[in-house]
Structure 1
Amino acid sequence: MKACEKPSKYMSMILDGMDQHVTQLPKPLTNSKSMASMWKLPTHITGAIVHGRGQHVFVDINEVPHDSNMTMNVLLQVLLKYPSLPPVLYLQLDNCVRENKNRFMFAMCCMLVELQIFRKIKMSFLPVGHTHEDIDQFFSRIAQYLRKRNVQTIVKLLRLIKEAYKKLKTTTERLKNMFNIRDWLMPSIAPMRHHTQHHVFRFTLNEQGKAVMHTRQWANMTKEWTECDKTDNINYIIQSHPEGIPDLVPLCFIKPDLATFEVDIKKMEKFPWMKSDHLKEWGDFLQEIKHQKENPVAGVFPIHELVYGTNQSHDVSQDPSHVSDNQSEFEALQMSQPDPVQIGPKRVRREKMQLLPGNFVAVYTTKYKHHWPQIGEIVSVNESDITLNWYNATYTGYCSPAFLQNNGKKEKWVEDVNVEDTISDPFKLTKASKLPVRIVEVLKVQQERLNIDLQRSISV
């Protein structure tokens, strides 16, 4: 592996999360009936292996969401542990859109390149069903080691994890605060589509000093990189660097029910494996959590530390395209060439529909000013009027024909409306007989323009 052979040029890192059922605390060696009924504190382990350099474990108690914010925070914390970073980073992640394969992670990589923390970043995702990597072995050794021991506290959990993996440079720590990098980046990021079809992404600088992304469907299928497709003259994933620093992710203690845990932990003093020192540690831990929630302390933003704390001088003019590739073992998985990743708003390719019978249209007539939305199916059209079959409709519910009672008989509610009263283009209902999303958006804009009170509006 290049990262092990040439650590001054390459860094290789893999990030993943561990199965949580093994690390509920306290965890006795043998579970009794009385212990089984007590509430245990769920803990979550995020691991990172920096090949040839070290192993790093971060533990949380589910007080923060496990999303892209966690991945980005852990990535930055791991990078801070190495004062001298090489110019190229190889990053391997689980193929999960919520946590990893999303525009926030891509924007973070763009920032690391534009700030010249790295000259090139290559991010790879393994296909579903082929994700057994060295980090899974790392987690397996931890799980096996913990099963054979009493784990009374978080402090002991962190110590046992280091003992389980007897390699140098293994660190363990509790992930206390997370920066809300996702919301901080969001206003500066362009929309993106088709990125889930690709599994390898490369981030480099162009001549203008902006980070650009190229993709491959699989790592070793071809040496050619696919350029992103751009829309509305939006050429880059991150348009500008956000100002200031992100806020902290708010702590949420609904999943970790600390009130119940505080009561149950006191009952565990009757067990011989739970010593007074362990109970004191839990008491200190719960006090620390309460203080952390009431008085959050952000600290220094890791990107600032990486920018001002490293002395990187990467030659950005070097050709970053030379990556050694072997014959892909996943060649059978490439059934068709994926669409290029699209940066910018979604292209809308649809023909404008006409005012023809069978199509639907939204209108607004003062006669029914307390009825919203006013939706009808076109029955016929003449020069100035259209005949509509009124429909019951809501923004999110099903649409159904409206009826009138005429001499005790139920008849479709059909009425002529002036063409000038239409407030939307003609459209078709969805397969589920609902309003299309674009029509709902139009109606909401029109509702605000017409100052319609939705609370007292009803369907026609």
Structure 2
Amino acid sequence: MLSKRRAIALDKSSVKKKLSLPCSCAKNCQKQFSVQEILYWRQRIHCIPAGEERIKKLAEMIQLCAITIRKYERDSLYRINQKLCCRHFFTETVLGISIPTLTRAKRAIQENRHDLNVRTPRVGTNGVRGRVCEGFIAAYMNAACDRDPTGNIFRMPAGLTKLDLHSLYQTIHKDGIGKSKFYNILDSKYRNLVFCKNQRFTKCTDCHNFRCLIEKEQDTQIKSDYIAMRNLHLKEQQMEREAYYVRRGQAEMRPKEILSLIIDGMDQNKTDLPHYCKWSNPSGAGQQKLRTHITGSIVHGRGKYFFIDHGQIPHDTNLSLSCLMKILSNESHNGILPPTLYVQLDNTARENKNKYFLGMMAYLVKHDFVKEVYMSFLLVGHTHEDVDQCFSKISQKLKEKDALTMPNLEALIFNSQTPQPHVSKVNTVWNISGWLEPFINQVHNITFPKMYRVQKDGTGHVYVQYKKLSTEEQWHPTSDERQLEIFKLDDVGCQMTPPGIPNQVHPYMAEEDIQTLMRSLDKDFKLAQFTDECTNWWKEFLASEILGSNEETWPTLNRTTEVDPMSTLSEKELDLIEKYKEKRSQFKEVFTKQGTDRRKYKKNDMVVVKISKTEVNIGEVRSVNGEDLELNIFKRNKGCFTSTDHIVSVRLSSCFATGFQLTNSKNIPSKIKERIAQENLKLV
């Protein structure tokens, strides 16, 4: 709420009163300015709370407007909108502040500047086109770039240069700013944008091939075709990433209706134990490490999960599905999940993109644990997303701190994330692939699509559909394509699903590898970093826990329930949505109140029709058929215009927009003649 003083300063009537009073100087400053101009300048000051921020803003305005800046100069002048005014008018009328406040602002300027007579240069903004350019760059950064774990550094797709980015900008904004100004904006306002020659993460084959073709090609036309194809590929990956952000946002806004998650695995060689932060391996340490692997997941709007194993189970689809089932069980409310499930996965066929993962999603839908499941995948080589940023934060933490034991690693992961995640060891993995194998069909070309949808029809039959890209509209298979039947059918056409629960995968590590690790750790135990607590943990772990001992139960889920759409929105928000839908369904005619309507010529009206760029004819309207006119052409004969009985059909767009009648002497009215002459046309 504004204070009384600030409210008076922003009151229109008080400004009018100020402008009605004569200025103390001889310049009559008050006559040069309007009320709106004064209010604009006052709002820039009085909408900021009193304090350092307001003084700083006031100092900027003084530097912008003052011709000279001296602390106590009474005769100083100020330039506002190219108009000069005195100090008294500038202070009390334009800004609505007191002289002491102005003096404090000038003192702040003097304390921060060496040369008081040099005005601070104005920063160029390039106007509206510059702001549009900045919006384009910011939008492209958010949609197409890979972010560092800090979120401050954006890395462009490999091989994309500043010139390429400017070309993309020019294709959208043809009247945009030039290349030099574009580069200036990049260098001054987007210093955190990095252009990479090589891809830091998984390489995209298409990007690499396009880059090689563009660099080697000499023909400019062929090279431009390659660039256009590369830009189309980048546009596709940008749209796929934006579609993922939309699904993520939906889940965050409607948690009772949608559950969205992304799951992926971290690089294995970064978290090997024991881990030393200052060096890869100190002198005297053993060479053999315990290979650990982290499976991470972000449940959007809910939390993060990290599961740690040490190579005792295979890293395949059973591990991914077991982690997923634990997450779903933990995120359920009394065993009940939201009806819609979004799962964002990596393109790895061994772990995610296979018939077993698809079959498990169909199993969840078949038994009504969820109503529908959407499995989506980003383009290969462009899959660095939010979960990978979480892994990068763990890597950064490992550079700062030792992780000598499994509890050390768990604590390090726990403290590396905000908000703090769920961290646990993988004690049990279920053989879900073997459980599903007898009941699901082989799926051909399963790696081709980027999105799958699993739903159930009115008869309880589960069906699977797919799209090549998630941004396409058409779902496949269509009625004339081969159907995608995930479950096998019995003799009467019912889908068969596996009974009971899957068996557990038995952990395994070669005895030779365990012995090698024990001999290597004997050297580590002698280092100064190892305390008695760390040594005792390793001995106990190698003796009993390395192959796992704490078995877990199969996650239990209950049938999902229907929820009202938009159940998380208030009544006011629902009312606004209904009004918006109603407004969208309305139609309003766009028109002007111009008296002449070229579509409504009357029968027997005379019309001027253009037959070429320089020639016109006149004719009498016989009939109007939609956008066509049927005319009887008239010609000049012995000083007057008479009918030729030659009937032609012409378009309305080629006729002058008003009809007329011949004069009593059968000639064209003078106004029509003047218009024909003004258009530099010839009557034939």
TM-score range, shorter chain: 0.5 to 0.7
- In the alignment, is residue 193 of structure 1 matched against residue 444 of structure 2? yes
- In the alignment, is residue 47 of structure 1 matched against residue 296 of structure 2? yes
Encode CA deviations 1:371-411: one digit per residue, 9 max, x unaligned. Answer: xxxxxxxxxxxxxxxxxxxxxxxxxxxxxxxxxxxxxxxxx
2:554 to 286, 294, 301: 301
Distance of 1:107 and 1:312 partners within structure 2: 19
- In the alignment, is residue 83 of structure 1 matched against residue 339 of structure 2? no
Q: Which residue of 2 aligns with 1:328?
A: none
> Counterparts in 2 of 1:46-445, with a 5 A limit?
46-84=295-333, 85-168=337-420, 170-220=421-471, 222-227=472-477, 235-237=485-487, 239-254=495-510, 257-289=513-545, 292=548, 298-302=551-555, 305-307=556-558, 312-314=560-562
- Structure 1 SS opposite 2:325: helix
5+ residue gaps, structure 2, are 1-248, 489-494, 565-684
Q: Which residue of 1 aligns with 2:617?
A: none
Residue 40 of structure 1 aligns to which amino acid in structure 2? K
Residue 359 of structure 2 aligns to which amino acid in structure 1? A
Q: Which residue of 2 aligns with 1:21?
A: 269
Residue 141 of structure 1 aligns to which amino acid in structure 2? K
Distance of 2:338 and 2:451 partners within structure 1: 20
Distance 1:262 1:2, change over 3 A: same
Distance of 2:343 and 2:539 partners within structure 1: 39
Distance of 1:297 and 1:143 partners within structure 2: 28
CA offset at residue 223 of structure 1?
Answer: 1.9
- Structure 2 SS opposite 1:207: coil
Distance of 2:487 and 2:432 partners within structure 1: 15
Distance 1:225 1:298, change over 3 A: same
Distance of 2:423 and 2:284 partners within structure 1: 27
- Structure 2 SS opposite 1:245: coil
CA offset at residue 64 of structure 1?
Answer: 1.0
Distance of 2:251 and 2:483 partners within structure 1: 37
Distance 1:174 1:143, change over 3 A: same
Q: Is the 8 A contact 2:286 2:523 kept in 1?
A: no
Encode CA deviations 1:109-131: one digit per residue, 9 max, x unaligned. Answer: 00111111111110001111111
- Structure 1 SS opposite 2:542: helix
CA offset at residue 227 of structure 1?
Answer: 2.2
Distance of 1:100 and 1:255 partners within structure 2: 30
Q: Which residue of 1 aligns with 2:667?
A: none
CA offset at residue 254 of structure 1?
Answer: 3.2
Distance of 1:314 and 1:147 partners within structure 2: 48
Distance of 2:481 and 2:468 partners within structure 1: 21
Distance of 1:264 and 1:279 partners within structure 2: 13
Distance of 2:320 and 2:326 partners within structure 1: 10
CA RMSD of aligned residues (A): 2.5
Distance of 1:206 and 1:265 partners within structure 2: 58
Distance 1:245 1:207, change over 3 A: same
Distance of 1:151 and 1:298 partners within structure 2: 25
Q: Which residue of 1 aligns with 2:216?
A: none
Distance of 1:234 and 1:7 partners within structure 2: 30
CA offset at residue 153 of structure 1?
Answer: 0.3
- Structure 2 SS opposite 1:198: coil
- Structure 1 SS opposite 2:518: helix
Q: Which residue of 2 aligns with 1:447?
A: none
Residue 351 of structure 2 aligns to which amino acid in structure 1? E
Distance 1:195 1:135, change over 3 A: same
Distance of 2:370 and 2:307 partners within structure 1: 24
Residue 121 of structure 1 aligns to which amino acid in structure 2? V
Distance of 1:171 and 1:194 partners within structure 2: 36
Residue 272 of structure 1 aligns to which amino acid in structure 2? A
Distance 1:36 1:128, change over 3 A: farther
Distance 1:201 1:255, change over 3 A: farther
Distance of 2:481 and 2:438 partners within structure 1: 17
Q: Is the 8 A contact 2:427 2:550 kept in 1?
A: no
CA offset at residue 233 of structure 1?
Answer: 9.2
Q: Which residue of 1 aligns with 2:252?
A: 4
Q: Is the 8 A contact 1:63 1:256 kept in 2?
A: no
Distance of 1:256 and 1:112 partners within structure 2: 41
Encode CA deviations 1:143-170: one digit per residue, 9 max, x unaligned. Answer: 00111111110011011101001214x1
Q: Is the 8 A contact 1:161 1:172 kept in 2?
A: yes
Distance 1:261 1:235, change over 3 A: closer
Larger radius of gyration between Structure 1 and Structure 2 = 2
- Structure 1 SS opposite 2:344: strand
Residue 23 of structure 1 aligns to which amino acid in structure 2? T
Distance 1:43 1:255, change over 3 A: farther
CA offset at residue 230 of structure 1?
Answer: 10
Residue 219 of structure 1 aligns to which amino acid in structure 2? S
- Structure 2 SS opposite 1:177: coil
Q: Is the 8 A contact 1:20 1:45 kept in 2?
A: yes
**Matched residue count:** 307
- Structure 2 SS opposite 1:123: strand
Residue 194 of structure 1 aligns to which amino acid in structure 2? N
Distance of 1:229 and 1:263 partners within structure 2: 64
Distance of 1:5 and 1:299 partners within structure 2: 33
Distance 1:130 1:214, change over 3 A: same
CA offset at residue 217 of structure 1?
Answer: 0.3
CA offset at residue 298 of structure 1?
Answer: 4.8
Could you tell me the TM-score, scaled by structure 2's length?
0.43
- Of structures 1 and 2, the one with the larger relative CO (CA 8 A, separation 6+) is 1
Q: Flag the structure with higher helix content.
A: 2
Distance of 1:33 and 1:159 partners within structure 2: 23
Distance of 2:293 and 2:383 partners within structure 1: 19
Distance of 1:289 and 1:103 partners within structure 2: 33
Residue 46 of structure 1 aligns to which amino acid in structure 2? T
- Structure 1 SS opposite 2:436: helix
Distance of 1:23 and 1:255 partners within structure 2: 22
Q: Is the 8 A contact 1:62 1:256 kept in 2?
A: no
Q: Is the 8 A contact 2:340 2:371 kept in 1?
A: yes
Distance of 1:10 and 1:232 partners within structure 2: 30
- Structure 1 SS opposite 2:380: coil
Distance 1:71 1:255, change over 3 A: farther
Same amino acid, percent of matched pairs? 32
CA offset at residue 43 of structure 1?
Answer: 0.3
Distance 1:290 1:42, change over 3 A: closer
CA offset at residue 291 of structure 1?
Answer: 6.6
CA offset at residue 243 of structure 1?
Answer: 2.0
